[in-house]
Amino acid sequence: MEPTRQYKIRMAVFLDRDGVINNDRGHYYIGKREEVDINPGVPGALRCLKEAGFLLIVITNQGGVGRGRYTRGDVEEVHRYISDLLGPDGAEPDDYYYCPHHPGSGNCLCRKPLPLMIQKAMARYQIDPGRSWFIGDSPRDAEAGKAAGLRTILIKPNSSLSRAAEQIIAETEKDEP
């Protein structure tokens, strides 16, 4: 008989990208590294969440790919650049999931508010949805998080993540035995 594998069930904070991590004021489609502008308080908030034991996973709709404004390679370069900016602060996201489809180009199963990107990450990283969160800046983000069984926090677009991180950490500490 083969020994049973033990899996560690993890906690995660899922984050929308534009408007939550990156300032999107004045431009909806962000497909170049020159357009990246990390919101205030993001590095410190993400570092605190990592130190509290959370994986950080970015979940983002990138309909600009589907509209031909930029490529998948451009999106991946933006993600590498965000990681490079946040890495020295100990705040680098653990992974990125993005939907390249635009709603005008037909039906898609991965675009938020559908939870498929979140569910893929939960399966890959053995994430416990009951101990995990989604931080977004639109009702579509909250809907996706709730559909995946996560607790959700909506913040004002392009604002600090500090309060949201403090709330998550405080509630997690309260829930621990």
Q: Which residues are identified as catalytic?
A: 16, 18
75-112 burial by CB neighbour count: b if 16+ within 10 A, else e?
bebbbebbbebbeeeebbbbbbbbbbbbeeeeebebbb
Q: How many CA atoms lie within 13 A of 90 on its CB side?
A: 10
Q: Kindly state the tokens that stand for 37.
A: 């502008």
The long-range contacts involving 69-77, CB below 8 angstroms and separated by at least 24 positions, are 69/29, 69/31, 70/29, 70/31, 70/32, 71/31, 72/100, 74/31, 74/32, 75/31, 75/100, 77/33
The H-or-E segment that residue 43 falls in is helix 42-51
Q: Kindly state the tokens that stand for 143.
A: 């809907």
